[in-house]
Structure 1
Amino acid sequence: MSTMTPISSLKSFLITARKALLSPPSSGTKPLTFVIGNESADLDSLCSAIALAYLRSHIPPHNKLHIPLANLYRPDLVLRPEMGAVLKKAGVEFDDLLTLTEFDQVEDLEPQDTRWVLVDHNALTGSLRDRFGDRVVGCVDHHDDEGVVPLETGDEPRIVQKCGSCMTLVAKSGGDVWRTMADQMQRDQVAQLAHLVLGPILIDTTNLTSKDKTTPTDVRAVESVEGVLKELGVRYDRDAYHKELSLLKEDLSSLSYRDIFRKDYKSWKEGGFKLGTSSVSQGLHYLLERIGEKDKLLTELKKWADEQELDIVTIFTTLHPQGGFARELMVWALNDKAVKVVKDFVKSNSETLGLETWEDGQLDDTSSASQWRACWRQLRTEHSRKQTAPMLREAMKRA
């Protein structure tokens, strides 16, 4: 049984996790317990996986090692500079993380040699689902419950609750552990863990100002962690931290369209269709002016859809006009059967989402039966991909 005593720094913890993953497993270390975020691998998923694995590795009496795994391949880490900034404050670097690149290097790791705890989702996707879907033993998530994780999870958590950030639930679930650990950790270790926790919550709730996302649970989580920093006399400026991360997340000027599409990407298969969704932290005007004009956008999006073998591809954008908050949505059906799905989605959800044609239909193409594309301003901004993707999936199921 691998143990994590005495309390280690985040960096030391990740070194221990790497050794456990890459060393040949012995009968005494099986099964390995992995903690993994969703395939978009955004700030919330990546940080939540590290934090939950760290906290649960220090729960007595067993202190069973939980290995945090980033649900992306190593080359994709560079697309997330905001993650790099959080890691720096947490005393670690990209090189310290474990990704699917390292996971794929492990030979002879059978499903029965693993246990999986999910954060920021509650159903494995893609090739991981095919191999390890029945090895999921717990979850901490703020999306709709898909009913996949067993109701009885033994010593692992099963938490599915709506709030702005999954990290809020991680902090809440590990509250007692956090306080016990804080008493035994060095001052800088506590500060590092605090910054890891605070970063994604501030980003996901727009510094606790988003009326659509922020819940009292998010506020309490931030105030609790900030209270620890204050007690320790750690210099910390919430507004400055949020601004630093926001600027890094929203600067897409050095990326290609393909990089932007894969930076925060999720896909699902339902009813014989495959849906791919990309969330983008800038608006369409920004993309067209900074990254490439209309023809370039559409050509690269079609290439991405073909590469991912999609029937439907979507772009969800967020933007901040005059300091406000807005959303846009583009949906592109790529074959005749998918066209019927998308039209059903629009008919069923247009009013709920507050869809208003974007710029007189400049990006639309609704004249063909074999393909169909439309773009809207989404006036009901409370509906993010978290709510809209299930609407599309329901239309896929109905087809």
Structure 2
Amino acid sequence: MSLRIFLEQLKTSHLPRVLGSPSKLKIVYGNESADMDSVASAITYAYFNYVYDPTQLVIPIINIPRCDLPLRRDILFALDKISITEDLLYFNEDLNKFIQVHEAGIETVLVDHNDLPKLDGIRTVVGVIDHHADLGLYKDASPRVIRPTGSCSSLVFNYWIGLIKGWVRMKDAIPLSMAALVIDTTNLKHRVEEPDLEACAIYDKALPDFDRHQYCKDLKKRKNDIKGFTVHDLLRKDYKQFQFANSNGDEIDVGISSMVKSLQWLYEEYGSQAIFEDECAKYREEHQLTMLVVMTSRTDDAGFRRELAILPEPKFQADAQKLIAGLREQLQLQDVAADFSASSTKDSNSTYKSYDQLNVAASRKQVVPYLKAAFETL
């Protein structure tokens, strides 16, 4: 059965039969950034699970509102390649409906994260496949695969091929697994681990005429295409929210947005640094954050570069600077001496600070554990 037909049958047959029944509903749930890796991992896990055992179906949930999918142009491109349309997918509003109508309970498999967010109605985690730092939770989950890889989708694929014993019946979803791998590793040039190489060897065998290099270029082009987006769109396009605790046990909400343009580009595109800051402040307030972090990455004539900007609440400004002091050596942070934009009218009371991050190997995945540890010292 093709991936598309599988998703169609979930909509028309399985869900109507299970919702409201005495049987538990099982979902696979990616992380809230809903990037290519998270989306591909959720969809392919559900499909490979069906290939292995058609009697035990799992519903893939994309962890964003449906209206946010158009912000992810690389994902739309990859899905279109395998004839998957938005109407066949499930999003957070669908999950909320399932929680309301399905009293028998919902079991969850986590992919591309290993800590279930607080969701009323979902408490049972039965499986985890992830490549982030192991938080030590759900020790009885099966599968429980948590190890470093460039792409979580590689772990998903390798887990299921070990059970299915061959790639032939998995082939229809391999282009989606491939998309996550080439995006996350820049076609095996960066952050590559052994599971990525194992998976890619099978992808190449299954799709011998597939041009990975061109596919990576096409995906990167669409991921970096933010034409027509507002600052608010960019902040929510690749966003994760965390709750950290200080030394007193007080909880602090921190949001981290990743962007594919430099701060200078953003200031110039949206009018000034002050305008960009103002939009970030609105977003911080909208999400009731103690601090918003913006991480940028891009490649220019000087090579691959990263920046980090923070916008804490005014009452948290002093603690935020202590945090930065704790991160400065690990991330090799250098203060940005002056505003990039000549048209900036920066408020002297602004809490916004930006830094060049010379440790370019540290993406959000590495920065989050550093932040968590730094918060625990406050």
Q: Same fold (TM over 0.5)?
A: yes
Of 206, 209, 223, the match for 1:228: 206
The alpha-carbon deviation at position 291 of structure 1 amounts to 3.6
Once residues 351 and 366 of structure 1 are traced to their aligned partners in structure 2, the CA distance between those partners, rounded to angstroms, is 28
Stretch deviating more after TM superposition (50-59 or 307-316):
50-59
Kindly tell me: are residues 383 and 327 of structure 1, through their superposed partners in 2, closer, same or farther at Cα, counting changes over 3 Å?
same
Once residues 261 and 37 of structure 1 are traced to their aligned partners in structure 2, the CA distance between those partners, rounded to angstroms, is 19
* Equivalence for 2:25: 32
Q: How many residues align?
A: 369
Name structure 2 gaps, 5 residues minimum.
246-250
Once residues 241 and 255 of structure 1 are traced to their aligned partners in structure 2, the CA distance between those partners, rounded to angstroms, is 24
Of 148, 157, 169, the match for 2:137: 148
Q: Output the TM-score relative to the length of structure 1.
A: 0.86
Of 253, 256, 262, the match for 1:274: 253
The alpha-carbon deviation at position 340 of structure 1 amounts to 3.7
* Equivalence for 1:46: 39
Of 181, 185, 208, the match for 1:201: 181
The alpha-carbon deviation at position 348 of structure 1 amounts to 1.5
Report if aligned partners of 2:21, 2:104 keep a CA contact under 8 Å in 1: no
The alpha-carbon deviation at position 108 of structure 1 amounts to 3.7
- C-alpha offsets along residues 219-258 of structure 1, whole Å, 9 cap, x if unaligned? 221122111112xxxx311110000000000111220000
Of 339, 347, 368, the match for 2:317: 339
* Equivalence for 2:77: 85
Kindly tell me: are residues 158 and 107 of structure 1, through their superposed partners in 2, closer, same or farther at Cα, counting changes over 3 Å?
closer
Alignment of 1:284-363 (within 5 A): 284-322=263-301, 324-336=303-315, 338-360=316-338
Report if aligned partners of 2:264, 2:340 keep a CA contact under 8 Å in 1: no
Q: Read off the aligned partner of 2:224 and give its amino acid letter.
A: E
Once residues 20 and 104 of structure 2 are traced to their aligned partners in structure 1, the CA distance between those partners, rounded to angstroms, is 14
Once residues 73 and 349 of structure 1 are traced to their aligned partners in structure 2, the CA distance between those partners, rounded to angstroms, is 33
The alpha-carbon deviation at position 11 of structure 1 amounts to 1.0
The alpha-carbon deviation at position 366 of structure 1 amounts to 11
Once residues 125 and 103 of structure 2 are traced to their aligned partners in structure 1, the CA distance between those partners, rounded to angstroms, is 10
* Equivalence for 1:117: 109
* Equivalence for 2:235: 261
* Equivalence for 1:395: 374
Identity of aligned residues (%): 30
Name structure 1 gaps, 5 residues minimum.
1-7
1:250 lines up with 2:250 in the alignment: no
Report if aligned partners of 2:36, 2:180 keep a CA contact under 8 Å in 1: yes
Once residues 366 and 143 of structure 1 are traced to their aligned partners in structure 2, the CA distance between those partners, rounded to angstroms, is 37
- C-alpha offsets along residues 373-395 of structure 1, whole Å, 9 cap, x if unaligned? 31111111111111112222233
The alpha-carbon deviation at position 12 of structure 1 amounts to 1.3
The alpha-carbon deviation at position 288 of structure 1 amounts to 2.0
Report if aligned partners of 1:313, 1:332 keep a CA contact under 8 Å in 2: yes
Stretch deviating more after TM superposition (197-206 or 292-301):
292-301
Kindly tell me: are residues 380 and 111 of structure 1, through their superposed partners in 2, closer, same or farther at Cα, counting changes over 3 Å?
farther
- C-alpha offsets along residues 116-167 of structure 1, whole Å, 9 cap, x if unaligned? 00000001224x2x442x3111110000111222x122xx310100111111
Q: Read off the aligned partner of 1:217 and give its amino acid letter.
A: P
Q: Output the TM-score relative to the length of structure 2.
A: 0.91
Kindly tell me: are residues 329 and 31 of structure 1, through their superposed partners in 2, closer, same or farther at Cα, counting changes over 3 Å?
same
Report if aligned partners of 1:71, 1:100 keep a CA contact under 8 Å in 2: yes
Once residues 365 and 127 of structure 2 are traced to their aligned partners in structure 1, the CA distance between those partners, rounded to angstroms, is 20
